[in-house]
Amino acid sequence: MSHTSYTALTRDQIAERAAQDIPDGAYVNLGIGLPTKIAQYLPDDKEVFLHSENGLLAFGPPPAKGEEDPELINAGKEYVTMLDGGSFFHHGDSFAMMRGGHIDICALGAFQVAANGDLANWSTGAEDAIPAVGGAMDLAVGAKKVFVMTNHTTKTGDPKIVSKLTYPVTGKNCVDRIYTDLCVIDVTDKGLAVTEMVDGMSFTDLQALTGAPLINATK
């Protein structure tokens, strides 16, 4: 297979790209790992409210060294701070925010995304794996928009965007947009619509790296 010459986005660049689509005033939950990086790229002229499942709204950047508080952590168990106007609440209210449709956007990592928006990100289904799910299923069904952030393929080059999940599902028909190191894809009723590709990427090559039919919706 011949490749055109393109440069994949770094993890930080994926986060930076996704951050551009977070509107002013949005209530946003950032999943553990890559999605968390979005916080670093939110522009200063916007007020975005970060929610953490363990009972924080409007938390801020990590504390200065030496000022860490073991009772002020986010869902990833990282130290955070609170912004003026932030609030604490219990797990019941926190998941009411998620399940009840009050979170505008959540950004999640993925093992696989299917063409219909099914998401797999909690279990590889491996026999000996210890399962763990946390709040992923709540975010998948509850957030108004679900953004997925992922490398376009696995380390071994297998597509992560597929016609049908082979990994156990986290949430059905829940993904709205996919940010990969190669492109941005909207999950639409008509299928997976590619709206942006990295410089040098051709639609044909992108399709070859993808396990489901794509629609070219780039301008």
Partner 1 sequence: MINKAEKSITDVLSQIKDGATIMIGGFGTAGQPAELIDGLINLGVKDLVIINNNAGNGDHGLAKLLKTGAVRKIICSFPRQSDSWVFDELYRAGKIELELVPQGNLACRIQAAGMGLGAVYTPTGFGTLLAEGKETRHIDGKDYVLEYPIKADFALIKASKGDRWGNLVYRKSARNFGPIMAMAADVTIAQVSEIVDLGELDPEHIVTPGIFVQHVVQIQPASTEPASDESTSTAATA
Q: What are phi and psi of 8, to 5 degrees?
A: -65, 150
Nearest to 9 by CA among 160, 166, 179: 179
Among 52, 150, 180, 210, binds partner 1 (CB under 8 A): 52
The contacts of residue 127 (CB under 8 Å, 6+ apart) are none
Scanning residues 79 to 138, which ones bind partner 1 (CB under 8 A)? 82, 84-103, 123, 128-138
Tell me the residue type at 168: P
Q: With contact defined as beta carbons under 8 Å apart, do 9 and 181 qualify?
A: yes
* 189 near partner 1, rule: CB under 8 A: no
Query: Among the options 47, 53, 68, 71, which is catalytic?
Result: 53
Cα 48 to Cα 26: distance, rounded to the nearest angstrom: 5
Active site residue 47: no
Among 31, 35, 50, 51, binds partner 1 (CB under 8 A): 51
* 63 near partner 1, rule: CB under 8 A: no
* 44 near partner 1, rule: CB under 8 A: no
Among 13, 68, 73, 116, binds partner 1 (CB under 8 A): 73
* 53 near partner 1, rule: CB under 8 A: yes
Among 30, 169, 197, 201, binds partner 1 (CB under 8 A): 169
Q: How far is the CB of 18 from partner 1 (least distance, A)?
A: 20
114-to-22, 156, 177 alpha-carbon distances in Å: 23, 19, 12
Among 58, 193, 212, 215, binds partner 1 (CB under 8 A): 58
Cα 193 to Cα 42: distance, rounded to the nearest angstrom: 25
Among 63, 172, 193, 217, binds partner 1 (CB under 8 A): 172
* Paired sense of beta strands 56-60 and 105-108, if any: unpaired
* Residue 108 in tokens: 């999640």
Q: What are phi and psi of 128, to 5 degrees?
A: -95, 5
Q: How far is the CB of 115 from partner 1 (least distance, A)?
A: 16
By the criterion CB under 8 A, which residues form the site for partner 1?
Answer: 24-25, 27, 47, 49, 51-58, 69-74, 77, 82, 84-103, 123, 128-138, 141-142, 168-172
Which amino acids are annotated catalytic?
A: 53
